[in-house]
Amino acid sequence: MTLERIIQFRTLRNRFMQMLGIRMVNVEEGYALCEMQVQEGFLNPNDSVHGGVIFTLADVAAGFAAHSYGMRCATMDSTISYLAPAIQSKTLYGEAKEIKRGKTVLVYDVWVTDDTKQLIAKSTITYFNLGVPVPETEEDEDNLKNKGENPQPT
């Protein structure tokens, strides 16, 4: 399984990520960096980026890091601390680093910063390894979709 295939699979299947314009910058085993251009529709009444948008960026980054070993994962737990408002930020970055990789439990710390390098939020996200590999090819993925199969733990 290549990292390029994992990125392709997760990017094409994550329509919410696409809608927000989140783009992968770098993925390595246990690590991911993504970025998102701030859009006017992301702002709350205080003209700061909405916390849900910031959390989604953190979750996407950690999800890519968790899937970087070629296995599908599901979120078990997550926490986020908002440390500064993202006011007048043009770009947000989510950087996920692995802090634990067990057989079934994976834990990632994520730092969300803006284009001025200001730390906006810090998150810890825990994933459960479903024991189901990311499909090797688009054909394998299509076959799973046609059969109506969803990933289930083995």
CATH number of 3-147: 3.10.129.10
Q: Tell me the pLDDT tens digit for each residue of 95-131.
A: 999 999 999 999 999 999 999 999 999 999 999 999 9
Instruction: Give the model confidence (pLDDT) of 12-49 as tens digits.
Output: 778 898 999 999 999 999 999 999 999 999 999 999 99
Is the Cα dihedral 24, 27, 30, 35 positive or negative?
negative
Pairing of strands 105-114, 91-101: antiparallel
**pTM: predicted TM-score of the whole model, two decimal places:** 0.86
Domain ranges for the chain, please list them: 3-147
